[in-house]
Structure 1
Amino acid sequence: MTTHTLHVDRSVPLAAEPHSGHNRFHPDIVPLIEVAEGDEVVIECRDGVDGQLGPGTTIDDLPTFDSNRIHPLTGPVFVKGAEPGDVLEVEFLDIVPEPHGFTCIVPDLGFLREEITTPFLAHWDIADGFATSQQVPGVRIPGASFMGLTGVAPSARKLAEWVERDQRCQEAGGAVLLQDPVSAVPQGGIGAEGLRTWTPRENGGNMDCKLLTKGAKLMLPVFAEGALFSTGDAHFAQGDGEVCCTAVEMAGTPVVRFTVHKGLAEKRTFAGPVFSRTSYYTDPRIAAPEHFLGVMGMPINEEGDSESENLTLAAKNAVRNMIVLLQERGFSREQAYVICSVAVDLRISNVVDYPNFVVSALLPEMIFG
């Protein structure tokens, strides 16, 4: 086994160190490194807003916030042997937090954006497994660190399809962040053509699923040769939903290991993230079965269009996708539906990353004896 480390200088923004990452998804972004299956990769990451709300900032800095800089990702990582039609398994061996975090309310963002419009900024001190803030006194938030954004690159065909889907969604009145070259990294054509990282999609991305902590495995369909894996937007803690649009945001360092499952994505009737935990997780800071299989649903209809912020459709797709996974184990469609009804939990992972809200379905493995 070989260990690789990807370094970033967190004292400067991504634009000052463009060779260290990107903030758009595009298949032509040059990978930073090539790794083999089984290698461990230590990935230093900036915080989700590219350092714009560091320890010395105040609420007066919110009006100058540049949303085009959000989600500076470290990567891509080229995984040898990963080809379109495969599934890339990402095992999170560790996620190491930095000592500062923040949570903010930005007008026009969040689940209650029409009701709560007053800006707010809390800075958190992260130490000894907890986060505390002078702006939210009397509260100690236990940590369960995870990466809010983890994904692989789209193919050129998927890039074009998803751009068109976003445009149709906006034309139908949905909230969408379309392509924008301002503050894009890489600059130029790739940045202008690349997908914004705000929206979770079939390639993963900004899922904000708090269950992807140390010990979890995330499985993503591969669309481009080498998968071109990237991650960022570390969170120290988050409630399901991330309702004000920010968690305890922080810079962090995940340690990951990859496995390639040949041809698995081609065999499935859905494309999207699947996740699991195969070891007992004793930490009470996340409420989840001891040993589970999970799958995500997004509000993408049978025609392939996004139905913006349709939480019902996202929940139905999570159930549909879990039925597919149970059918892979030999159950009939009807048997799988019954199992979902008696044993599967639906969790709202996020209700803010429009247009594609995320609902997760969790299956406890203990029911299989």
Structure 2
Amino acid sequence: MPELVFPLDSTKRFTDQALIGHNRWHPEIPAAVRVRPGDSFRVHCREWFDGAIHNDDSADDIRDAPLSTVHVLSGPIAVEGAEPGDLLVVDILDVGPIPQEDSGPLAGQGWGYTGIFATQNGGGFLTEQFPDAYKVIWDFAGQTATSRHIPNVSFTGIVHPGLMGTAPSAGLLQKWNQREGALIATDPNRVPPLALPPEPNDAVLGSLPSSEYARVAAEAARTAPPRENGGNQDIKNFSKGTRVFYPVFVPGANLSVGDLHFSQGDGEITFCGAIEMGGFIDLRVEVLKNGMTTYGVTENAIFMPGNVEPRYSEWLAFSGTSVTLDGEQRYLDSHLSYQRACLHAIDYLTTFGYTPEQAYMILGAAPIEGRLSGVVDIPNACATVYLPTAIFDFDIRPSANGPARINPGQGVPRSSF
């Protein structure tokens, strides 16, 4: 096993650990540990809400999930010799649930969860159709996920970190805040908001001196979206065997990681669409000097995906175009076309007996494939959702006999109001 450089104790909260990570991006957050190019090392990660979500049949914890506290990230990890303009090479050697803990109260201890967030608390990709909070608990058996809330479904998880990235420079942070602030200003009262501005409340800034806390907390960026430094990209193929090339913006690069997922469908469409968990990740790092200029990678990481995902041979694909549910034509709106493809898949699965919420959760957590299939034929963009047929224990293909009817079981817990 590689050296454990960032340990976490499952019995303690994130802010009570021997090493305290962070939940905001800022160049002045001090490095928690230091490694050298060529080093292999292990990092423990907490589930993104630090234990606020429970293994039960209530969705009230999803309704009340404290968004100002996320994501709890392990790091920053400084890499000796890395300087602005370099590329940081990160190999994902291994990743999985909390080691040697297959049961317990924390997500990652033999279980994980998927949530539909209420519109008032973040919403999701289909928040207009699913405005309330729901939760699904998934149990892990080896690499397989099953759920008491969605019967007749099992699949092999593609375990990956939802979030990994390097620290921004002061100039890059300022750029983020300015452009996202300008977007918020176009509709400041929108629910859910157009973006998340800096939020000093609940900011965790590692070992930053208390004298600097107020200033840095007021400037630090939220970790919710992906940006030029990588960040919360939620790429399901970011699995074991992946090699990533991150732009370096500050001395040491200051790499951070968290938001581990047992599985996810392309797009993580329910917002908390993956199977969220805590766990471990083993990494190896190298530095390509002046790599940003040499390869033209001045923003946004490039990566070589791992090859450990399950190989499905049969799919049922659903397509959508950029026309709203009210029949309004939009011009090459690929976001809308993917929404429509997802809604078509949800409608289809309900003919077998699933509730719309169960079908939505399947698309968020199972290893579906989402694709932009046509973006040139005006006025309609076309997106497709590929659903692997083998994850169901009954035949979902259309036939002359009509859809089989399954017992949906207890269904997906919905929050009270």
TM, length-normalised to structure 1: 0.74
User: Counterparts of 1:1-369 in structure 2 under 5 Å?
Assistant: 3-17=3-17, 19-56=19-56, 58-97=58-97, 98=108, 99-108=110-119, 109-173=123-187, 175-186=194-205, 188-246=214-272, 247-267=274-294, 268=296, 270-277=298-305, 281=307, 283-284=309-310, 347=371
Is the Cα–Cα contact under 8 Å of residues 184 and 192 in structure 1 kept in the other structure? no
Cα gap change, 1:347/1:80 in structure 2, threshold over 3 Å: closer, same or farther? farther
Partners of 1:282 and 1:198 in 2: CA distance: 27
Partners of 1:49 and 1:216 in 2: CA distance: 25
Residue 9 of structure 1: how far off its partner (Å): 2.3
Cα gap change, 1:229/1:193 in structure 2, threshold over 3 Å: closer, same or farther? same
Deviations 1:334-369 (A, max 9, x none): xxxxxxxxxxx9957xxxxxxxxxx9xxxxxxxxxx
Is the Cα–Cα contact under 8 Å of residues 41 and 284 in structure 2 kept in the other structure? yes
Cα gap change, 1:285/1:242 in structure 2, threshold over 3 Å: closer, same or farther? farther
Deviations 1:63-118 (A, max 9, x none): 33211112100000000111000111110000022322001111111111111123
Structure 2 SS opposite 1:22: coil
Structure 1: 4+ residue segments shifted above 6 A: none
Residue 154 of structure 1: how far off its partner (Å): 0.4
Is the Cα–Cα contact under 8 Å of residues 237 and 309 in structure 2 kept in the other structure? no
The one-letter amino acid of 1:272's match is: N
Is the Cα–Cα contact under 8 Å of residues 211 and 286 in structure 1 kept in the other structure? no
Partners of 1:64 and 1:51 in 2: CA distance: 13
Percent pairwise identity:
36
Partners of 1:172 and 1:285 in 2: CA distance: 44
Deviations 1:31-84 (A, max 9, x none): 111100111120000011221103257212233321111210000000011100
Cα gap change, 1:128/1:19 in structure 2, threshold over 3 Å: closer, same or farther? closer
TM, length-normalised to structure 2: 0.66
Cα gap change, 1:264/1:249 in structure 2, threshold over 3 Å: closer, same or farther? same
Residue 124 of structure 1: how far off its partner (Å): 1.3
Structure 2 SS opposite 1:93: strand
The one-letter amino acid of 1:50's match is: D
Residue 217 of structure 1: how far off its partner (Å): 0.6
Cα gap change, 1:54/1:5 in structure 2, threshold over 3 Å: closer, same or farther? farther
Cα gap change, 1:285/1:24 in structure 2, threshold over 3 Å: closer, same or farther? farther
Partners of 1:151 and 1:122 in 2: CA distance: 28
The one-letter amino acid of 1:241's match is: G
Is the Cα–Cα contact under 8 Å of residues 45 and 232 in structure 1 kept in the other structure? yes
Matched residue count? 294
Residue 286 of structure 1: how far off its partner (Å): 8.1
The one-letter amino acid of 1:214's match is: K
Q: Unmatched 5+ residue regions in structure 1?
A: 288-309, 316-344, 349-358, 360-369
Is the Cα–Cα contact under 8 Å of residues 63 and 133 in structure 2 kept in the other structure? no
Cα gap change, 1:201/1:286 in structure 2, threshold over 3 Å: closer, same or farther? farther
The one-letter amino acid of 2:276's match is: E
Residue 311 of structure 1: how far off its partner (Å): 5.1
Partners of 1:56 and 1:272 in 2: CA distance: 38
Is the Cα–Cα contact under 8 Å of residues 3 and 39 in structure 1 kept in the other structure? no
Residue 282 of structure 1: how far off its partner (Å): 5.3
Partners of 1:25 and 1:205 in 2: CA distance: 9
Is the Cα–Cα contact under 8 Å of residues 144 and 286 in structure 1 kept in the other structure? no
Is the Cα–Cα contact under 8 Å of residues 8 and 20 in structure 1 kept in the other structure? no
Structure 2 SS opposite 1:21: coil
Residue 284 of structure 1: how far off its partner (Å): 2.2
Residue 189 of structure 1: how far off its partner (Å): 2.9
Residue 131 of structure 1: how far off its partner (Å): 1.2
Cα gap change, 1:75/1:286 in structure 2, threshold over 3 Å: closer, same or farther? farther
Q: Unmatched 5+ residue regions in structure 2?
A: 98-107, 188-192, 206-212, 314-332, 339-368, 373-382, 384-417
Partners of 1:100 and 1:2 in 2: CA distance: 25
